[in-house]
Amino acid sequence: MSEEFRSPVATSSRLFGDPLPDALAAYYVDLDAGRFRDAARHFSDDVVYAIPPAGEIETNPRVVHRGRDALIAWFGRRGVTASAHEVLLCVREGSSCLLEGVSRDTTTGRATASFVASAQLGGDGRVTRYLTYLCTPPADRAPTGDGPAPAAASDVLHDYFSALDTGNFAAAVDRFSDDVMYSHPPYRHTGLDGNDRVVFRGRDELLAAFRARGAQSFDHTILASIQRGPHCLVEGVVQGLADGGGGSFISSLTLDDRGRIRRYLSFYCEPGVPRA
């Protein structure tokens, strides 16, 4: 294991996109080192901190802690773990920051999980809302590099979601590359069932999956979308579920040279966690 990883640094030379905001960088360092009160001070007094339920289906409701005091108490119960955060992609615009990274075993340096997070920052730079997702095993790494944007990811996603939500699956698949890697959390409210994350490789597999999923009455709305070069992170909501409820999602995607999605990594939970 390299000295770079041994040091309590939440980012590495592999980070691309934007610099990690100071509050988030310090939070990961302090949390991984077991300095729980220091970790909590990077959040606002009234923070909403929503994290995955440990050991449960990844789409289950987030565990929500409200306020810094609740956060300190949670960190104490959580204790020090044998893992550390490494942020690989960070994008930021204004008060919104979206990121993707991996958790690494502090003994072996091996990546054990992929995570994404959405953070909203207050005027003092502290985090006012933090929503995160986790999947194991870790997903295929995104192609690295900060080259020029081959297309506007927001337009590609709009076309994809519009086609998917209207049941035009051939048009939806056309927004992906021939060699796409598409990683999706356990499906809900569709013709696909199960409690495990699914991975589809190539457009043929993806088209078959969309057809098995079937046309649905719910739709996707993007609330935040930030692109750097070929890479983009988005946060959104699912609306129009049969029971009147909804969900939150974060997706990380990378476009190929032709502007099609080559890698798509998505996370979801019900119910949703409203943005501030």
Tell me the pLDDT tens digit for each residue of 95-112.
Answer: 999 999 999 999 999 999
Please say which residue of 108, 135, 162 terminates a domain. Answer: 135
Give the Å distances, CA to CA, from 19 to 83, 137, 228. Answer: 22, 26, 12
Is 148 contained in some domain? Answer: no
- In this structure, the strands spanning 231-239 and 219-228 are antiparallel
Share of residues in the chain with pLDDT > 70 (%): 94
Judgement on whether residues 103 and 182 belong to the same structural domain of the protein? no
Q: Is the pLDDT of residue 147 over 70?
A: yes
- pLDDT reported for residue 216: 82
- pLDDT reported for residue 8: 44
- pLDDT reported for residue 182: 98
Q: Is the pLDDT of residue 245 over 90?
A: no
Mean pLDDT across the stretch 211-231? 92
Q: Which amino acid is residue 71, in one-letter code? A: L
- pLDDT reported for residue 217: 80
Q: Is the pLDDT of residue 275 over 50?
A: yes
Please say which residue of 77, 107, 135 terminates a domain. Answer: 135
Number of domains in the chain: 2
Judgement on whether residues 109 and 158 belong to the same structural domain of the protein? no
Q: Is the pLDDT of residue 200 over 90?
A: yes
Domain residues for 257?
Answer: 153-269
Mean pLDDT across the stretch 111-132? 97
Judgement on whether residues 98 and 160 belong to the same structural domain of the protein? no
Would you place residue 242 in the very low, low, confident or very high pLDDT band (cuts 50, 70, 90)? confident
Judgement on whether residues 85 and 114 belong to the same structural domain of the protein? yes
Is 17 contained in some domain? Answer: yes
Would you place residue 240 in the very low, low, confident or very high pLDDT band (cuts 50, 70, 90)? confident
- Given a contact cutoff of 8 angstroms between Cβ atoms, the answer to whether 116 and 252 are in contact is yes
Whole-prediction pTM: 0.93
Mean pLDDT across the stretch 3-8? 41
Q: What's the length of the chain? A: 276
Judgement on whether residues 179 and 264 belong to the same structural domain of the protein? yes
Is 276 contained in some domain? Answer: no
**Measured between alpha carbons, how far is 67 from 55 in angstroms, rounded to an integer?**
24
Q: Is the pLDDT of residue 5 over 70?
A: no
Which sign, positive or negative, has the C-alpha torsion 50, 160, 257, 263?
A: positive
What are the beta bridge partners of residue 266? 251
Backbone torsion region of residue 67, taken as left when φ is above 0, otherwise alpha when ψ lies between -120 and 50, otherwise beta: left
User: Token match 């996109």: residue?
Assistant: 17
Is 243 contained in some domain? Answer: yes
Mean pLDDT across the stretch 187-204? 92
Please say which residue of 84, 107, 135 terminates a domain. Answer: 135
Read off the CATH number of the domain in which 178 is found: 3.10.450.50
Would you place residue 14 in the very low, low, confident or very high pLDDT band (cuts 50, 70, 90)? low
Residue (of 43, 45, 44, 47) closest to 65 by Cα position: 47
